[in-house]
Amino acid sequence: MDAQRTLRRPISCVGIGLHSGNKVQLSLKPAAADFGIRFRRTDLGDREVPATVQHLAGIQLATGLARNEVSVETVEHLLAALVSLNIDNVLVELNSPEVPIMDGSAAPFVYLIQEAGVKTLQARRKYLKIVRPIAISRGDKRIALYPSDHFKVTYSVSYDHPLLRHQSRTLRITEDSFIEDIAPARTFTFLKDVEMLRQNGLALGGSLENAIVLGETGVLNNALRFEDEFVRHKILDAVGDLALVGHPVIGHLVAHRAGHALHTEFAAKILEEVDSWQLLESLLPIEPRPLGVPATSPRLAN
Ligand SMILES: [Zn+2]
């Protein structure tokens, strides 16, 4: 897991933008080592925006990026799938300002990545390893990163709603745990907010097909995918927003009542707190070897 990875072949899908309600074509294309994750607007002369905190744009209900008047919105579910499946380098093409919402989860993006396949590149991945705690709080919203041997997330939420008084979960994020436990968790919204969003021209593409909607006493959808689907989705959002630091993080992320605004403010703060982390390049050999290259036997120490 120490070599950089990209996709084996390009792959595309079509969905709708959550806010515009417009049809969007999304393509994921293989990219070279150290390319990173970049969005390209094919409807705007192929101009690009890298998926890094330096290009963070206005955060409303989702995370957006912008550079030179080229913007992309609702990037977080796709980013969460890419980084959790260890895809370091990929070109994301969109013919619209929004990443399609699909079913409101990251599962369709996991499926796309799996269908495209993964290719290992001959370059080492750099990890951002937390060595001292970093934390910020805004009122009762808090987010922090602590040193840990693995990337794990503890998230807790509490809302003024009978179904959501308190949910909390801790999970070590691996490719497998993300695919099983996090990727299928859908975004959620409160029915009382939907009308307000629509009046503001937002969530025009929103429906029970792509979000859990909470009425006064329960959910309007037929069924939840997990009993605690809400907090699992918050973990999904946090993983996607944290991807904007540009390297896989090794540390324990702890968040309480946070959201995109705090996640992304925190991602930017991490990069400023240079004494709190080290960029770690694994010293393990890169695997697998290209075809035809014989294995070298381990060298004996002199
Ligand atoms: Zn989300």
Q: What is the pLDDT along the chain (302 residues), one digit of tens a residue?
A: 689 999 999 999 999 999 889 999 999 999 999 999 999 999 999 999 999 999 998 766 788 999 988 999 999 999 999 999 999 999 999 999 999 999 999 999 999 999 999 999 999 999 999 999 999 999 999 999 999 999 999 999 999 898 899 999 999 999 999 999 999 999 999 998 888 888 888 888 888 999 999 998 889 988 999 999 999 999 999 999 999 999 999 999 999 999 999 999 999 999 999 999 999 987 454 455 555 544 444 334 33
pTM of the model: 0.91
Q: How far is the CA of 67 from the centre of ligand 1 (A)?
A: 22
Whether the CB-CB separation of 83 and 153 falls below 8 Å is answered with no
Per-residue pLDDT, 130? 97
Q: How far is the CA of 180 from the centre of ligand 1 (A)?
A: 17
Q: How far is the CA of 222 from the centre of ligand 1 (A)?
A: 20
Q: How far is the CA of 261 from the centre of ligand 1 (A)?
A: 12
CA 153 from chain center: how many Å?
13
Q: How far is the CA of 244 from the centre of ligand 1 (A)?
A: 15
Q: How far is the CA of 76 from the centre of ligand 1 (A)?
A: 7
Ligand 1 (single-atom ion) residues, CB below 5 Å = 187, 237
Reduced 3-state DSSP string for the chain:
CCEEEEECCCEEEEEECCCCCCEEEEEEEECCCCCCEEEEEHHHCCEEEECCHHHECCCCCCCEEEECCEEEECCHHHHHHHHHCCCCCEEEEECCCECCCCCCCCHHHHHHHHHHCEEEEEEECEEEEECCCEEEEECCEEEEEECCCCCEEEEEECCCCCCCCCEEEEEECCHHHHHHHHCCCCCEEEHHHHHHHHHCCCCCCCCCCCCEEECCCCECCCCCCCCCHHHHHHHHHHHHHHHHHCCCEECEEEEECCCHHHHHHHHHHHHHCHHHEEEEECCCCCCCCCCCCCCCCCCCCC
Q: How far is the CA of 78 from the centre of ligand 1 (A)?
A: 10
Q: How far is the CA of 30 from the centre of ligand 1 (A)?
A: 25
CA distance 132 to 146: 6
Any idea which residues carry the catalytic annotation?
260
Tokens of 281: 């390049």
